[in-house]
Homo-oligomer: A and B are copies of this chain.
Amino acid sequence: MSLPRIAVDAMGGDEGVRVMVEGAALARRRHDRFKFLLVGDEERIKQALANHPNLRAATEILHAPDVVSGDEKPTQALRRAKTTSMGLAIDAVKRGDAGAAVSAGNTGALMAMAKLSLRTMPGIDRPALAALLPTMGEHDLVMLDLGANTECDARNLVQFAIMGAAYSRIVTGLPAPRVRLLNIGTEETKGTEELQAAAQQLKEANASLAMSFDGYTEADKLSRGDVDVVVTDGFSGNIALKAVEGAARFVADLLKRSFASSLRSKVGFLISRPATELLKHHLDPNNHNGAVFLGLNGIVVKSHGGASALGVANAVAVTARLLEENLTERIAADLASVGAETIRSSSRRKTAAAQDETAA
Of A16-24, A88-96, A250-258, A316-324, the one contacting chain B is: A250-258
Main secondary structure of the interface of A (DSSP, over half): helix
Residues of B within 8 Å of A234, CB to CB, are 184
Residue of B219, B222, B259, B274 touching A262 (CB-CB under 8 A): B274
Number of copies: 2
Q: Considering only CB atoms, which chain B residue lies closest to A73 in the complex?
A: B189
For A188, A255, A264, A272, the residue with the greatest tally of chain B CB atoms inside 10 Å of its CB is: A272
Pick the residue among B191, B223, B272, B274 that contacts A246 (CB under 8 A).
Answer: B223
One of B73, B240, B253 near A136 (C-beta < 8 A): B253
What is the size, in residues, of chain A's interface with B at 8 Å between Cβ atoms? 63
- When distances are taken between beta carbons in the complex, the residues of chain B under 8 Å from A189 are 71, 73, 108
Within the complex, which residue of B223, B246, B272 is in contact with A220, where a contact is CB–CB below 8 Å?
A: B246
B235, B249, B252, B255: the one within 8 Å of A192 (CB): B235
- A 262-292 binary contact with B (CB < 8 Å = 1; else 0): 1011011111111110110011000000000
Partner of A243, one of B222, B235, B258: B222
**Distance between Cα atoms of A140 and B312 in the complex (Å):** 34
Q: Do residues B247 and A243 form an inter-chain contact, with CB atoms below 8 A?
A: yes
- A47 CA to B102 CA, complexed, in Å: 64
Q: Which residue of the partner chain B has the closest CB to A184? A: B238
- Is B271 touching A150 in the complex (CB atoms < 8 A)? no
Inter-subunit contact A239/B219 (CB<8 Å): yes
Q: Return the CB mask of A180-211 against B: 1 if under 8 Å, else 0.
A: 00101001110110000000000000000000
- Inter-chain contacts of A187 with B (CB < 8 A): 70-71
Query: Which single residue of chain B is at the shortest CB-CB distance from A135?
Result: B250
- Nearest 4 Cβ contacts at the A-B interface: A268-B272, A220-B246, A268-B271, A243-B243
What 11 new A-B contacts, CB under 8 Å, besides A182-B239, A261-B275? A71-B189, A192-B235, A219-B238, A220-B249, A235-B236, A240-B243, A241-B243, A251-B283, A261-B274, A264-B274, A267-B271
